[in-house]
Amino acid sequence: MSAQPRSETSTRVLTATGITKTYRRGSERVVALEGVSFSLDAGEFVTVSGPSGSGKTTLVNVLAGWETPDVGEVRWTDGDVDPAAPAWGALASAPQRLGLLDELSVHENVELPLRLRDGADRADTAEQVGAALETFGLHALAHRLPSEVSLGEQQRTALARALVGRPRVLLADEPTGHQDAGWAAGVIAGLQRARERGTAVLVATHDEEVIVQADRAVELHDGRVVTPA
Ligand SMILES: Nc1ncnc2c1ncn2[C@@H]1O[C@H](COP(=O)(O)OP(=O)(O)O)[C@@H](O)[C@H]1O
Ligand SMILES: [Mg+2]
């Protein structure tokens, strides 16, 4: 982990306190997270690691607001963000299952958050979309549908889409999961560039290459934090 002291003046964007989340599987009760507290500052790059099933994806989903915790709360503490309904502009996500729109080209998928947020037309978004496509090596295939590119390229499309609007927070779930070694490094560089622009980057990963680049690494085991957040 690179030594990057947390600045006393940095802005805390997100605070989760005492999160417990359980799922039901038939008659069984699965504790996915237990008493997890976690915070994220503007412009820091944090990894959440741990073995498969340790609760990484559940934590990302709770922070994103897609899952409601049984106990605990998630608070947006960034004045620029509406805590009741963080918008795409504030919170962006590259989920493990990507969530690309099959009917839209790579370019249109990446452009979508800008159009939804700003109602912008293509001329207004060209520069930002072009930069995001370039960062993730998608320029040459931008006109293709997701089904016409590799899984790694689909994953990079999801990352470009998440970052195109310069969100306050990026939640990325296993963002190097479908990348070869060369593009894993490219993805990490893209995340670091976002961080340098002030985006708080939270990555759920078990990829050592990513973990060593983090300002802070949080580890989960059986739904509990084993390294202090
Ligand atoms: N929708 C669900 N229903 C039942 N169990 C789930 C569900 N989602 C996750 N789990 C369970 O919760 C635990 C944590 O899962 P997850 O957060 O996906 O872990 P990770 O991302 O670290 O692999 C696992 O035991 C998993 O099987
Ligand atoms: Mg997961």
Q: 90 pLDDT band (50/70/90 cuts)?
A: confident
Is there a domain that residue 85 lies in?
yes
Ligand 1 center to 55 CA (angstroms): 6
Is there a domain that residue 5 lies in?
no
CB 171 within 8 A of CB 200: no
Q: Which parts of the chain fold into alpha helices (H)?
A: 56-64, 106-118, 122-135, 151-163, 181-196, 208-211
Instruction: Look at ligand 1, atom 26, and give the residue with the nearest C-alpha.
Output: 53
Number of domain units in the chain? 1
pLDDT for res 1: 44
Is there a domain that residue 132 lies in?
yes
Ligand 1: nearest atom to the Cα of 61: 17
Is there a domain that residue 86 lies in?
yes
pLDDT for res 88: 57
What CATH number should be reported for the domain holding residue 46? 3.40.50.300
| Whether residue 23 has its Cβ less than 6 Å from ligand 1 | yes
| C-alpha torsion 75→191→116→139, nearest 10 | -170
For the whole prediction, is pTM greater than 0.85? yes
- The fraction of the chain above a pLDDT of 70, given in percent, is 86
Q: Report d(CA 13, CA 83) in Å as an integer.
A: 10
Q: 3 pLDDT band (50/70/90 cuts)?
A: very low
- The mean pLDDT of 4-10, rounded to a whole number, is 54
Q: 36 by DSSP, 3-state: which? A: strand
Instruction: Look at ligand 1, atom 20, and give the residue with the nearest C-alpha.
Output: 53
- The mean pLDDT of 165-193, rounded to a whole number, is 94
Ligand 2 center to 78 CA (angstroms): 27
Ligand 1 center to 31 CA (angstroms): 9
Ligand 1: nearest atom to the Cα of 174: 21
Among residues 149, 170, 152, the alpha carbon closest in space to that of 161 is found at 170
In the predicted structure, residue 222 carries a pLDDT above the cut 60? yes
Ligand 1 center to 162 CA (angstroms): 23
Q: Report d(CA 221, CA 227) in Å as an integer.
A: 10
Model confidence pLDDT, tens digit, residues 9-27: 578 999 999 999 999 989 9
In the predicted structure, residue 201 carries a pLDDT above the cut 80? yes
Instruction: Tell me which ligand sits closest to the C-alpha of residue 51.
Output: 1
In the predicted structure, residue 225 carries a pLDDT above the cut 70? yes
Is there a domain that residue 152 lies in?
yes
Is there a domain that residue 7 lies in?
no
Pocket test for ligand 1, best of 30, 33, 171 (most atoms within 8 A of CB): 30
Model confidence pLDDT, tens digit, residues 37-88: 999 999 999 999 999 999 999 999 999 888 999 999 998 876 655 655 555 5
Is there a domain that residue 1 lies in?
no
| Whether residue 66 has its Cβ less than 6 Å from ligand 1 | no
Burial of 194 (0-12, 13-18, 19+ CB in 10 A): buried
Domain that holds residue 103: 12-225
pLDDT for res 80: 59
Residue 80's region, left for phi above 0, alpha for psi from -120 to 50, else beta, is alpha
Element (H, E) at 25: strand 12-25
Ligand 1: nearest atom to the Cα of 223: 14
Instruction: Tell me which ligand sits closest to the C-alpha of residue 58.
Output: 1
Model confidence pLDDT, tens digit, residues 101-160: 999 999 999 999 888 876 666 667 889 999 999 999 999 999 999 999 999 999 999 999
Is there a domain that residue 216 lies in?
yes
Read off the tokens for 3.
Answer: 């030594």
